[in-house]
Amino acid sequence: MTEATAKPANFIEKIIDEDLSSGKHQSITTRFPPEPNGYLHVGHAKAICVNFGLAQQFGGQCNLRFDDTNPEKEEDEYVQAIQDDVKWLGFEWGGDIKYTSDYFDQLHQWAIDLIKAGKAYVCDLSAEQAKEYRGNFEKPGTNSPFRDRSVEENLELFEKMRLGEFDEGACGLRVKIDMAAPNMSLRDPYIYRIKKATHHQTGDKWCIYPSYDFAHGQSDSIEGITHSVCTLEFADHRPLYDWFIENLDTPAEPHQYEFGRLNINYTVTSKRKLRALVEGKVVNGWDDPRMPTISGMRRRGYTPASIRNFCDSLAVAKTDGTVDVAQMEYFIRDDLNQNAPRAMAVLNPLKVVLSNMQDDHEETLTVPYLFDSEGEARTELGERDVPFSNELYIDHADFKEEYSKKFKKKFCVGKRIRLRHGYVIEADGFEKDADGNITQVNATLIENTLGCDPADDIKPKGVVHWISAKHAVEAEVRSYARLFNDANPDGGDKDFMDCLTPDSLVVTKALIEPALANAAAETVFQFEREGYYVADRFDHSADKPVFNLTIGLREDRSLAN
């Protein structure tokens, strides 16, 4: 290892350490092999952190390889999105990007080798018949009536498959293993099927495509993968992975290791279900901030460091489990609390008029974006100009018509409050509309209180955020709730669509300080006393500021159950 870890080594780290110490491997090569048929989700984030993290930890490399064996569902859009996700998380792959399709010629030749060795045959059973012949966990399978075709006939039929002389589903190439094997994946699995679809990398060169099980281990072998790390759903397929390595003349003999996948409550991570949300327009695309996709979390304002820290906190073990979403949210808040610049926005504005100031009064307060725990300015984040005038906006919730001990800030008539980064003011009175709603607070500015307490020692009872009315900029604010209101939305007999949270997106207007309008897209701010908000990755501009709610300042306990 290049650096000792703070926590105990997991079982994969121990294996790699032993393999390097014994000389079995001089260096390690891992791989991350997503299928480009959708956007990556939070479960993939853990797999990325594990595979790329192991390579970093032990001074090796991790390949990015696209498992592109199913052209009907794959698109270049997904290929690019996956690359962006890996880079955004802070990782770099070794060498050029790899594609399973890079190895189609070699895989085809290995299929021919299996036929010549009498270990593979072309089967004409329909999908329904093949399923019936396969049996189940209680009943052994039955040999296909085409299992004993001669080598010559199988070679001829496989060539006709390659040439496109058969319709899709008419036949497929299977390997002879054991139709009575307790492990269902060993019951003569298909290794080639006919798919007359244009491939995003190879075009129309092929109309037969290898199965994942056939292509995966052999691709690992070609690339010299030393530790093929995947999630537990592939554990039952490991004997088949090993069977192909043993029965083919491959350049290397990689080994597969499985760890528990990441499941988070209040979330679905099935690509099929995520696609249904997108295609059903329940959400606004794969990168909707309510989606558990990496691109959705990015647009929500989650930071790469917070996601990596969350994934690093999870056990790499041989069992599956479900993690409380609050655990991930803890790491989001922790990172943003330490690093997000602060700014002011008023979400529910109430005008305050300072009666002892001239109507044309204006001044500029220069304010750091962030202070450290000692109250010193964090100079690396810079500072901004905050305009101040005789008319301000504060949040409606910060003023009460009558004094109450339960009202924490105690800003009401006769009481004082400090403006964040500014002066102390005292409320003198207020105005109402015909419906009895307070529309304006009339107040007095206490002089010589910029950065210090009043000379009369009557201290303010709290601090409020504010915006100069003359300089306020209107912004669109998108507030998000959890997409699902059920902790296990796809569990049991439930239809996950029935577990959607009503009004999980609420769009409102807010008033922001001018500097926020010029914020760079994807910059996350703490709107003081409100929450964390990010300048939208695509829609935010100086002319039309758009901010997405990343997360509240503290956990919402009402969502805990």
Is the pLDDT assigned to residue 328 strictly greater than 60?
A: yes
pLDDT digits (tens, 9 = 90+) for 345-361: 999 999 999 999 999 99
Dump pLDDT digits (tens) for 487-526. 999 888 999 999 999 999 999 999 999 999 999 999 999 9
Residue type, 140: P
Rounded-to-integer distance, Cα 426 and Cα 415, Å: 6
pLDDT for 347 equals 98
Decide if 202 contacts 101 (C-beta within 8 A): yes
Is residue 441 very low, low, confident or very high in pLDDT (cuts 50, 70, 90)? very high
Q: Is the pLDDT of residue 560 over 50?
A: no
pTM of the model: 0.94
Has residue 2 got a pLDDT over 80? no
Task: Give residue 172's pLDDT.
Answer: 98
Write down all domains in the chain, each with its CATH number in brackets: 11-264 (3.40.50.620), 271-339+475-512+518-559 (2.40.240.10), 343-472 (2.40.240.10)
Sorted by sequence, the CB contacts under 8 Å of residue 39 that are 6+ apart come out as: 78, 81, 82, 85, 274, 286, 287, 291, 293, 294, 295, 296
Residue, of 403 and 503, whose pLDDT is higher? 503
Give me the pLDDT at residue 409, please.
67
Q: What is the pLDDT of residues 277-288, one digit of tens each?
A: 999 999 999 999
Report the relative pairing of strands 345-346 and 383-389 from DSSP bridges: unpaired
pLDDT for residue 405: 77
Residue numbers annotated as active site: 35, 261, 271
Which pLDDT value is given to residue 556? 65
Helix axes 76-88, 42-57, angle to 10 degrees: 60
**Mean pLDDT score, 288-304:** 98
Separation between Cα atoms, residue 268 and residue 482, nearest integer Å: 12
**pLDDT value at position 373?**
85
Q: What is the pLDDT of residues 83-119, one digit of tens each?
A: 999 999 999 999 999 999 999 999 999 999 999 999 9
- Residue 492 has which token pair? 């049991």
194-244 tens-digit pLDDT: 999 999 999 999 999 999 999 999 999 999 999 999 999 999 999 999 999
What pLDDT shows up at residue 406? 78
Q: At 561, is the pLDDT very low, low, confident or very high (cuts 50, 70, 90)? A: very low
In the prediction, which pLDDT does 323 show? 96
The mean of the pLDDT values for the chain is: 95
Confidence band for 5, pLDDT divided at 50, 70 and 90: very low
